[in-house]
Amino acid sequence: MPIHVLDHPLAAHFVTHLRDKTTKPATFRTLSYQLSLLLAVDATRDLPTMERVVDTPLESAPGRVLAQPIVLVPILRAGLGMVQPFLDLFPDVSVGYIGLERDHETAQAHSYYCKLPPLAGNRVIVIDPMLATGGSAAQALSLVCASGAVNPRLVCIVAAPEGIAEVEARHPGVAIHAAALDRGLNARKYILPGLGDFGDRLYGT
């Protein structure tokens, strides 16, 4: 499977507290920030760099700087909870937005908003904390590819096997980075054990 699961004791710690139903929205937002910071580092470890020579106060020193601009594409609304850590790490990042909402009965996602900057030549990272059926992520990946993204990647917090399979089937080769790989989905297409509705817990709705 094209899945990279974050392997760090802090990630396990943050995920466990996110799962806890007694965790309140303010703490939930902090944990989402902290976990997304770890994911942002992990999911960008293969970013291309180029040589740059700088002058230190003593002499010149060869170094390397990032070579490819990043475009971050959160899936609204829950994806917004993962944006800030990427902005804090990558100051020159551009942000596009895709609004998708699952129907409560069918679990099919419908699109209600899409605003993307130019994507060609950029490293495109789609972020959404929950990969359940994979319908939302696959739709978002189709939208970014239609706008010029090549080899985008997906970063989420909790992934279900069904969602990974769906993304792999519709977008072969797309790398998925997650903090946790869960057991599966319930009859209402919620992730088990999961953490419930991420957007509701993030925003206290």
Total residues belonging to the chain = 205
Q: Contacting ligand PRP (CB under 6 A), which of 15, 77, 141, 180?
A: 77
Q: Which does 163 bind (CB under 5 to 8 A by kind): ligand URA, ligand PRP, none?
A: ligand PRP
Residue 197 appears among annotated catalytic residues: yes
Q: Which does 122 bind (CB under 5 to 8 A by kind): ligand URA, ligand PRP, none?
A: none
Residue 106 appears among annotated catalytic residues: yes
* List of E strands, 6-119: 49-55, 60-66, 70-76, 94-95, 97-102, 109-115
Give the integer Cα–Cα distance in Å for 4 and 134: 16
Q: Which residues contact 20 (CB under 8 A, 6 or more apart)?
A: none
Between residue 54 and residue 93, which ones bind ligand URA under the rule CB under 6 A?
Answer: 78
- Among residues 77, 102, 153, 201, the one annotated as catalytic is 102
Residue 92 appears among annotated catalytic residues: no
Instruction: Please give the structure tokens belonging to residue 49.
Output: 């760099």
Give the integer Cα–Cα distance in Å for 71 and 92: 9
CB of 204 to ligand PRP, least distance (A): 12
Instruction: Please give the structure tokens belonging to residue 32.
Output: 């989402």
CB of 187 to ligand PRP, least distance (A): 13
Does residue 130 contact residue 154 with C-beta atoms inside 8 Å?
A: no
What positions carry a catalytic annotation?
102, 106, 197, 200
Binding site for ligand URA (CB under 6 A): 78, 130, 132, 190-191, 194, 197-199
Binding site for ligand PRP (CB under 6 A): 75, 77-78, 100-102, 107, 109, 128-137, 163, 189, 197-199
